[in-house]
Amino acid sequence: MGKKGKRDKKGKGAEKTLAKMEKKVSRRAKKEEEDLEALIAEFQSLDAKKTQVIESSCPPPSPRLNCSLSAHPERDELILFGGEYFNGQKTFLYNDLYIYHIRKNSWAKLDIPNPPPRRCAHQAAVVPTAGGQLWIFGGEFASPNGEQFYHYKDLWVLHLATKTWEQIKAPGGPSGRSGHRMVACKRQLIIFGGFHESARDFIYYNDVYAFNLDSFTWSKLAPAGMGPAPRSGCQMTPTPEGNIIIYGGYSKQRIKKDVDKGTLHTDMFLLKAEGAGKEEDRWSWSRLSPSGVKPTPRSGFAVAAAPNNRCLLFGGVHDEEEEESIEGDFFNDIYFYDIGKNRWFPAQLKGPKSEKRKRRRGRQAEAEAAGEEELQLPPPEGPLEIVKEVVAEDGTVMTIKQVIPGAAEDKDRSGSEEDEDEEDEEEGGALGQAVEPCPRSSAMVAVKHGVLYVYGGMFEVGDRQVTLSDLHSIDLHRMDQWRVLQEVDPKTQEWLEESESDEEEDDDVEGAEGGEEEEESSEEESEDEEGEQQHPAVQPGEAQAQYVARTEQHWLRLARSHMGPEAKDKKVLKVAQAMAKTFYEDPI
């Protein structure tokens, strides 16, 4: 009884501290939000001019972060909404709506009157009611300079059948926040965590709210037991029984004035609904201790429901915080969590069949050379981590941690194979590794018909942020290879250095002419092709050298767009070659 009383007293004290902090942050953020409300109202007045629904074919969406990507409950479509983009000097917010047609591999922009205001870091959940509904809650709006924030607490629904937006105004909902998580579970929307930030203060949440999809009412849950610490960006997964699983996340604490310390959470919890849904207010927290191989600590990972009663985790970043800098290790691996077995395990890519035969034949040749009938190799215990660094002449360092899946074909390497054309095998082996998404954080993911779709995300090159707009897919049943549905368009990449404002005025004048710069670029590319045979970094193998030669021009344009027209040609070439080698070379 004594220990329980102490725990209850400690819990009530934490609640009081949290309430005080929330009032303090809210009071200081009120002035900022009032300033931004005028800007938001201006954007809404522009949206109010839309009077009819217009759906038109369009190029892929521009690069962006923290948007939402959802699978249509009835059609072979993905729905992308909102997001943000930062070019080094200015932050752009969006509230546009895109539809990706899976069978056509094409995009369409859907303009609907009276949409939600521009936002990022919101949450979206899809339910099959009335032909499909897309629910949106919360998120944030940032000033162009990225120093002021407005956190939404509004709830919207997009009726997919009628293509209409509707704002649901119901009292008693969560406070304004972003970075929270929301899932649809048993005719309810369950919201957990998130954060609220102003220019000087911040607060992280661990509260739980439920929105009833039948009565359109909010209720704040008060689960029994010790729950997760406040956090944002966690994994939140509903179970078939109507329970909720929470894993990981990120939070930070203020150690002293102007000094904050971040925490990567790796714990796991179960939020259980008591009474089989008969009493909605009865919930309880319990800690989970999963078996298997858990994901390495990270933030910025993406999550989605997977087939066979599983959920998955993709990518992310692990930031090494030092006194004056932060270096990030980015990931592109997949981890599965088996809900029924309470077990984590890393995904194993099997690879295309042509690549399997090539590797098997290579092992057989080695065995015969050694005078053995078969070369016995121990099965891999897990994926292999490759750490690469790209260093530019100016000292810019990009550290990328890439996870190479274990060779799942080792299990069935015995048996006879039919001989195929050697060129087809070399091409399959090279491209099988080449189409793997580059390591990234903050990617958007969705699963439709057992296929995982990964859109965008970001990685960092020194002080530069590269925002992606590519689209990849992989069949989660076969797990054979990634497919590239959409590549990054270098023309959409832009980075403006704050310290180069004087030089940029001159550069803008030169770049406006366009003609000379394009001729120089074409000359550089022709010189690059002549020099590629002498450059060991881009010629690990004959088939792969051909592939890298094709893609190096892509990265040359990308490197030029980030380094600016004032950068020396040789320096741009080295960065482009290093980026091509990092993302497209088979490191094994």
DSSP string for residues in 24-85:
HHHHHHHHHHHHHHHHHHHHHHHHTT--S-EEEEEPPPPP-BS-EEEE-SSSSEEEEEEEEE
**What is the CB neighbour count within 10 angstroms for residue 165?**
18
| Least confident interval from 216-225, 287-296, 455-464 | 455-464
> Residue 384: what pLDDT?
53
Q: Among 90-99, 199-208, 324-333, name the most confident range.
A: 90-99
Please check the confidence at residue 339 and state whether its pLDDT lies above 90.
yes
Dihedral over alpha carbons 569, 570, 575, 578 (to 10 degrees): 140
Asked whether 439 and 401 are in contact (CB, 8 A), the reply is yes
> Residue 324: what pLDDT?
56
Integer Rg of the chain from CA: 25
Token pair 């990009």 is found at: 398
| Least confident interval from 147-161, 364-378, 442-456 | 364-378
Residue 322, amino acid: E
Average pLDDT, integer, range 417-423: 39
Asked whether 234 and 181 are in contact (CB, 8 A), the reply is yes
Both tokens of 359, joined, read 């590797």
What is the separation of C-alpha 57 from the centre of its chain, rounded to a whole number of angstroms?
Answer: 25
What residue spans of 295-374 are helical by DSSP H? 353-369
Both tokens of 420, joined, read 């195929």
Q: Identify which of 240, 241, 226, 288 has the alpha carbon closest to the alpha carbon of residue 7.
A: 226
> Residue 164: what pLDDT?
96
Q: Identify which of 104, 103, 97, 63 has the alpha carbon closest to the alpha carbon of residue 82.
A: 97
Does 452 or 526 have the greater pLDDT score? 452
For 495, list phi and psi in degrees, rounded to 5: -145, 125
Please check the confidence at residue 219 and state whether its pLDDT lies above 50.
yes
Please check the confidence at residue 543 and state whether its pLDDT lies above 60.
no
Both tokens of 404, joined, read 């190479």
Please check the confidence at residue 374 and state whether its pLDDT lies above 50.
no
Q: Among 28-32, 259-263, 394-398, 425-429, name the most confident range.
A: 259-263
Work out the pLDDT band at 530, boundaries 50, 70, 90: very low
Both tokens of 346, joined, read 């890393």
Both tokens of 497, joined, read 């250095």
- DSSP letters spanning 325-340: -EEEEEEEEEEEEETT
**Residues 6+ positions from 94 with CB-CB distance below 8 Å:** 64, 67, 82, 83, 84, 85, 118, 120
Query: Hey, is 314 helix, strand or coil?
Result: strand
Cα–Cα distance measured from residue 42 to residue 36, given in angstroms and rounded to the nearest whole number: 10
Please check the confidence at residue 75 and state whether its pLDDT lies above 80.
yes
> Residue 410: what pLDDT?
39
Average pLDDT, integer, range 384-405: 50
> Residue 570: what pLDDT?
74
Residue 467 half-sphere exposure toward CB, CA atoms < 13 A: 20
> Residue 554: what pLDDT?
59
> Residue 541: what pLDDT?
41
Work out the pLDDT band at 500, boundaries 50, 70, 90: very low
Asked whether 376 and 435 are in contact (CB, 8 A), the reply is no
Q: For the segment 52-63, what is each residue's pLDDT rounded down to a tens digit?
A: 999 999 999 999
> Residue 68: what pLDDT?
97
Does 450 or 581 have the greater pLDDT score? 450
> Residue 546: what pLDDT?
42
Q: Identify which of 147, 167, 151 has the alpha carbon closest to the alpha carbon of residue 159.
A: 167
Both tokens of 585, joined, read 């070379």
- Looking at residue 535, what DSSP letter applies? -
Asked whether 361 and 381 are in contact (CB, 8 A), the reply is no
* Percent of residues, the chain, with pLDDT higher than 90: 50
Please check the confidence at residue 293 and state whether its pLDDT lies above 60.
yes
Cα–Cα distance measured from residue 220 to residue 574, given in angstroms and rounded to the nearest whole number: 56
- Looking at residue 576, what DSSP letter applies? H
Average pLDDT, integer, range 24-48: 70
Residue 456 half-sphere exposure toward CB, CA atoms < 13 A: 24
> Residue 43: what pLDDT?
80
Both tokens of 92, joined, read 């752009």
| Least confident interval from 74-83, 127-136, 189-198, 313-322 | 313-322
Query: Hey, is 153 helix, strand or coil?
Result: coil
> Residue 120: what pLDDT?
96
Cα–Cα distance measured from residue 561 to residue 575, given in angstroms and rounded to the nearest whole number: 12
Q: Identify which of 183, 187, 182 has the alpha carbon closest to the alpha carbon of residue 214.
A: 187
- The topology under which CATH files domain 54-349+436-492 is Neuraminidase (2.120.10)
Asked whether 125 and 135 are in contact (CB, 8 A), the reply is yes
Please report, for residues 303, 464, 502, 503, 504, the alpha-carbon distance to residue 498 in angstroms, rounded to integers and kept in the order given. Answer: 34, 11, 10, 10, 10
| Least confident interval from 31-35, 132-136, 148-152, 546-550 | 546-550
Work out the pLDDT band at 518, boundaries 50, 70, 90: very low
Average pLDDT, integer, range 419-430: 38
Does 290 or 7 have the greater pLDDT score? 290
Cα–Cα distance measured from residue 446 to residue 302, given in angstroms and rounded to the nearest whole number: 9
Please report, for residues 300, 511, 563, the alpha-carbon distance to residue 506 in angstroms, rounded to integers and kept in the order given. Answer: 37, 9, 15
Cα–Cα distance measured from residue 233 to residue 240, given in angstroms and rounded to the nearest whole number: 23
The ranges of the chain annotated as CATH 2.120.10.80 are 54-349+436-492
Cα–Cα distance measured from residue 457 to residue 454, given in angstroms and rounded to the nearest whole number: 9
Angle CA 143–145–148, to nearest 5: 45
Average pLDDT, integer, range 516-529: 39
What is the separation of C-alpha 375 from the centre of its chain, rounded to a whole number of angstroms?
Answer: 40
> Residue 490: what pLDDT?
79
Cα–Cα distance measured from residue 434 to residue 555, given in angstroms and rounded to the nearest whole number: 14
| Least confident interval from 82-91, 135-144, 348-357, 536-545 | 536-545
> Residue 457: what pLDDT?
93
Strands 343-346 and 291-292: parallel
Query: Average pLDDT of the chain?
Result: 77
- What does pTM read for this prediction? 0.72
- Looking at residue 162, what DSSP letter applies? T
Cα–Cα distance measured from residue 238 to residue 283, given in angstroms and rounded to the nearest whole number: 14
Please report, for residues 315, 341, 365, 383, 578, the alpha-carbon distance to residue 408 in angstroms, rounded to integers and kept in the order given. Answer: 21, 21, 20, 10, 29
* Percent of residues, the chain, with pLDDT higher than 70: 63
Average pLDDT, integer, range 483-505: 72
Cα–Cα distance measured from residue 294 to residue 452, given in angstroms and rounded to the nearest whole number: 20
Paired with 299 in beta bridges are 317
Q: Identify which of 480, 476, 428 has the alpha carbon closest to the alpha carbon of residue 453.
A: 476
Average pLDDT, integer, range 313-337: 84
Residue 115 region, left (φ>0) first, then alpha (ψ -120 to 50), else beta? beta
Work out the pLDDT band at 545, boundaries 50, 70, 90: very low
Q: Identify which of 336, 317, 313 has the alpha carbon closest to the alpha carbon of residue 250.
A: 317
> Residue 539: what pLDDT?
33
Cα–Cα distance measured from residue 408 to residue 405, given in angstroms and rounded to the nearest whole number: 8
